[in-house]
Structure 1
Amino acid sequence: METPQVIIAIKNTKFAQEYVSELWELLEQEKARIEAKMTKMREHIYKFNDMCWDYTSVQIKKAKEKTSEIIVKLQDIKSLLAELPASNRATVQPSFSTLCAEAAIVTNKITECIKMGCDENQRRLNVRFHELATTLQPSS
């Protein structure tokens, strides 16, 4: 026959083992829940990121086309100027030089817009990353 202390120790050991098993199960369920949530959030971020970069890629392509168009037109004008007699070229050259300067300003603005778009994409991604980082933190 076992003493009451031994019986209590056996019962407490059994309870402890049950609690350990319950806690392991709870922890595994929580890990699975968190992983599922993180997977879902990653998918949203990837989709969001793809949308941002797709939009940016389109904008970059349009900017490249517009810049190329400007350069081609300037080159065409330069070729025409080269064929003009010196006196006629002298009258058009100042306006062509001004046009080249204006083209530089416009293409710089095009580039600035692209940079701003990239900066905005990065800002949005940083917000998403921050949201991810704080999602799993306990709420106050």
Structure 2
Amino acid sequence: MDQQPAGTDRALQAARKALDEAPEGEPQPHWSAWVDHQELDIMAGRCWAELKRPLRSVPVLSRALDAFPDEHARDKSLYLSWLAEAYITAGEVEQAAAITRRALELSTDVASIRPRQRIDVVLAHLRPYSDVAEVREVLGLAGP
């Protein structure tokens, strides 16, 4: 487990280098067709959130999601769920509740169950903090 952050950092740096230094006219990695710098930032933030490294996760996810259009509600609500988890890990449950509320709002009319499944994971992590008003409100908004 101790090597995971270092390995993750190396892989993310390699991906960023591949995006930055892609020679024109040469075949590119298959993943480069759908990954740009914003997507790479989101993936990096998700990695750090999963590794319980909120000081790395929160800034990169916040920056990327601020520029991510709400029109992509399914994806944005999913990505916000990782940001909320990072805030929970950091002990910032009020901010996690606010982010979770936004994810819930975005996912309301989405024709995919995946965002709600991810949000439910975050809600489970928030439940122990139901004595906090913001958490109580988002739990109520989410329903049973």
- What TM-score, normalized to structure 1? 0.26
- What TM-score, normalized to structure 2? 0.25
Relative to total residues, which structure has the larger helix share, 1 or 2? 1
Structure showing greater relative contact order (alpha-carbon pairs closer than 8 Å, 6 or more residues apart): 1
